Amino acid sequence: MPKSGPVSFSPERRALLAGAAAVSSQFFLGKSSFSAPSGSTLTDVEEPLDSFLRKIPKAELHVHFCGTLHKKTLERLASKYRVDESESIEKAFDRSGFNNVLTALKLASRLMAQPEDLRDAVYATQQEAADNGVRYREMFWNPSDQEEVGGIPYAAAQEGLVAGLADAERDFGIVGRLIPSIDRSGTPERALRMVEDVLANPSSYTLGIGMDYLEADGAPEHFWKAYRMAYSNGLRCTAHAGEDGAHPRNIDTCLSLLRCSRIDHGYTVLEDETLTQRCLEEGIVFNVAPSNSYYSEVLAGQDWSVVHPIRHMIDRGLKLSLGTDDPPLHFTDPGQAYISIVRDFGATLDDVRGIIGNSIDGCWAPEPDKAAWRAAWLQEFDEMRSTLPS
């Protein structure tokens, strides 16, 4: 079992992981049933604007570790453990019904059966993120799934992830932190046990807790005890809410009862004007995903710069940061998220600059680091922007 400190990789392993990481554009450009907005086009050679958006410094606050594993990574893990998961893997990346992401996350947990698998996978995804301009990243992972499905207890799983994050920071300069996340399809008691594990195994890499999986499977108030325990012991809190057309009361519950300092998704907030005003006044950051499955399906073929709730959230002045959610499953990457917000949602470069600032404001890094990043990153953005063709 790897220790919490940095773990060295052999040149051969580094080469293998680099190959696993450098496939995001192939996935996005490859054949899929993902429905891009009307008028969207993809080319092998990026325009200067797209290259700029890919390279600008970023913080990503909404990405699921198990959702970052590429198809080839899952196939390699299946081969390593000599199990036939070919049908399950194919199904995971068939997004024709937009209903296979959660299945894919469980599959990834099942195939990562040793801490070294977690270490290698997180190292690879951090390299990919760094190649897309990400300097700081907070990543969800589901400890209950990893233990029950993958057979790795919390402490060992956290050690594997920390080892990979430490090596990635050393090799690529990207800072990675962890958000253990409650699977809301489970019981409140299961969630409480997860928080107990988090508190029993403190790590400077673990900053707070989250909650994910289908909103309809677990109302946020069901998990108030887990959140109360986390918050009262100094952990930060966030949760997925208002994602798949769910009632905005879920957002209110997460802010008021669960003591969340930010919201993941939150697209239905504008359905409640009082709640919207509260979020504006308190500067609540919404970690949105331009490639969100639900709206990619229900708004397929429409002009997202007109009809998409993310566009409306920008117009109302809500603070947004951009995430990839489950990048290869959504056929995206961190750079593509920024390209999409401009090309598909009609965001301006001033909007993008604001999003970078919002992502720093919303992250859980120490305040001195955030102040330094805000000054340096926005200056870098301005300098890079000045070189764009007029």
The pLDDT tens digits of the residues spanning 48-89 come to 999 999 999 999 999 999 999 999 999 999 999 999 999 989
Q: Which residues of the chain have pLDDT under 50?
A: 1-44
Residue 220 is assigned to a structural domain of this protein:
yes
For residue 14, what pLDDT is reported?
39
For residue 274, what pLDDT is reported?
98
The angle, 0 to 180 degrees and rounded to 10, between the axes of the packed helices 188-200 and 154-172 is 60
For residue 22, what pLDDT is reported?
38
Residue 332 is assigned to a structural domain of this protein:
yes
Say if residues 303 and 344 touch (Cβ distance below 8 Å). Answer: no
Residue 37 is assigned to a structural domain of this protein:
no
Total domains, the chain: 1
Residue 312 is assigned to a structural domain of this protein:
yes
Alpha-carbon dihedral sign for residues 313, 317, 319, 322: positive
Residue 32 is assigned to a structural domain of this protein:
no
Residue 18 is assigned to a structural domain of this protein:
no
Please return the burial class of 277, using the count of CB atoms within 10 Å of its CB with bins 0-12, 13-18 and 19+: exposed
**Any idea which residue has 């690529």 for tokens?**
172
For residue 97, what pLDDT is reported?
57
Domain that holds residue 343: 45-385
Say if residues 289 and 337 touch (Cβ distance below 8 Å). Answer: yes
For residue 30, what pLDDT is reported?
29
CATH of the domain at 123: 3.20.20.140
pTM: 0.88
For residue 7, what pLDDT is reported?
34
Residue 381 is assigned to a structural domain of this protein:
yes
Rounded Cα distance, 46 and 342, in Å: 14
Among 339, 341, 309, smallest CA distance to 244 is for: 309
Tokens for 225? 């005890």
The pLDDT tens digits of the residues spanning 346-380 come to 999 999 999 999 999 999 999 999 999 999 999 99
For residue 103, what pLDDT is reported?
84
For residue 152, what pLDDT is reported?
97
Residue 223 is assigned to a structural domain of this protein:
yes
